[in-house]
Amino acid sequence: MAHDLQTPTAPPLVEDAPLADPDIAARPAPVPASVPGARRERPDLDRDERLLLHERATRKGVNPLVYWVVRAFFQPFFHVYFRMRRIGMPHVPKHGPVIFAANHRSFLDPFVIGALSRRPLYFVAKKELFRKPLQGWFLNSLGAFPIDRGNADGDAMSTARAILERGDCVVIFPEGTRTRPGGIGSPKRGVGRLALESGAPVVPVAVHGTSHIRTKWKIRPHRVTVRAGRPLRFPQVDDPTADLARAVTARIWPCVELQWNALGGHTSERGIGVDRALLDVRLAPDGGLHGGAPSGNVPDREAR
């Protein structure tokens, strides 16, 4: 009966069938233009377009006309509509390069942090915000430059170093993205690497209340507070290792947490808890939390 067995044959090949491309398969399907109400997604900026924005931030800096007009409007608006409080402003250096390491809750955070200093502050923003040419130009004029989140974006870090080398200020959100609701997230080591490579002091900053001000496109009045701690200083290292950058980040982030907890974030935002007695350096064992880090961990009345 062996002659009755038939060997299964493979299905015929279709010559016109294209080979599967994993990159194409991973892309979202395009939205047909004929669908009513359909929105065609703009493509992300390629590397050359992003480098042009980096170059503008590095060589030209902010657009003075756009920056100061926008600031003249936003800062009084924040004080009146959001009842903004600024704590710890004497801790912010008035001259030289400065890194502001802050938690991230809202798109308004860079503008709120900008109220801590009379100098323009430069900050990274996700590359998707620069898809629209006019919006990208506006953000770039205010000191923003794009970053490719989720990847080790060396271009963004090089731009940040160049801005610090000329003596300006850079805002870094170590969490890498907005974190809400709940407590603050976990940091990435990029801020530690930038601090080591530039040698610039790092000011730990906490922003509280901005996560409550927006419901879709409605901006609601809600108290916003920004609190800066004492600057942290680290030796300059030309080529720090990943472990060293991670260790410096582990030194910086607890100081941001202390500012956040001092504003009540550990209770109002259901974040991590901390004994409030430890927020007063005079009551804390061994000079404060985390080995007595010089983080400005003093009561609000002393940080003013």
Q: Is the pLDDT of residue 5 over 50?
A: no
* More confident: 68 or 182: 68
Structure-token pair, residue 10: 């493979």
For residue 182, what pLDDT band results from cuts at 50, 70 and 90?
A: low
For residue 209, what pLDDT band results from cuts at 50, 70 and 90?
A: confident
In a domain, 70, yes or no: no
Choose the weakest-confidence range: 8-12, 106-110, 126-130, 214-218.
8-12
Q: Read off the pLDDT of each residue in 57-68 and give the average, rounded to a whole number.
A: 92
In a domain, 49, yes or no: no
Q: Is the pLDDT of residue 282 over 90?
A: no
In a domain, 257, yes or no: yes
Q: Read off the pLDDT of each residue in 26-43 and give the average, rounded to a whole number.
A: 54
* More confident: 82 or 181: 82
- Tokens 């004994």 correspond to what residue? 275
In a domain, 93, yes or no: yes
Q: Which amino acid belongs to residue 105?
A: R
Q: Read off the pLDDT of each residue in 271-281 and give the average, rounded to a whole number.
A: 42
In a domain, 91, yes or no: yes
Q: What is the pTM of this model?
A: 0.73
Distance separating alpha carbons of residues 243 and 48, to the nearest angstrom: 31
In a domain, 106, yes or no: yes
Choose the weakest-confidence range: 7-11, 242-246, 270-274.
270-274
Residue of 271, 276, 272, 263 whose CA lies nearest to 207:
263
In a domain, 65, yes or no: no
CATH number at residue 136: 3.40.1130.10
Angstrom distances, CA of residue 149 to CA of 90, 125, 152, 206? 33, 9, 8, 22
Q: Is the pLDDT of residue 49 over 80?
A: yes
Q: Is the pLDDT of residue 172 over 50?
A: yes
Average pLDDT of every residue of the chain:
77
Residue of 165, 234, 240 whose CA lies nearest to 204:
234
In a domain, 276, yes or no: yes
Long-range contacts at 183-186 (CB < 8 A, ≥ 24 apart)? 183/260, 183/265, 183/266, 183/269, 183/270, 183/271, 183/272, 184/103, 184/256, 184/257, 184/260, 184/265, 184/271, 184/272, 185/103
pLDDT digits (tens, 9 = 90+) for 218-249: 777 888 899 999 999 999 998 899 999 999 99
* More confident: 8 or 150: 150
Q: Which amino acid belongs to residue 102?
A: A
Beta bridge partners of 136: none
The count of structural domains within the chain is: 1
Beta bridge partners of 218: 215
Where in the sequence is the domain holding 210, given as residue range(s)?
86-303
